Structure 1
Amino acid sequence: MSTDPEQYLAARLRRALAEDPRTTELGVRVTVRGDHVLLSGDVASAERRAELEAVIHDIAPELTVLDDVQVVPVGEPGGREELR
Structure 2
Amino acid sequence: GMPMTWHDLRGVSDAATQLVQLSAEAAQAPFDLACGPLMRACGIQVADDEYVMLLVQHHIVSDGWSVGVLVRELNMLYRAACDGQTDP
> Normalization by structure 1: what TM-score?
0.36
The structure with more helix, counted as a fraction of residues: 2
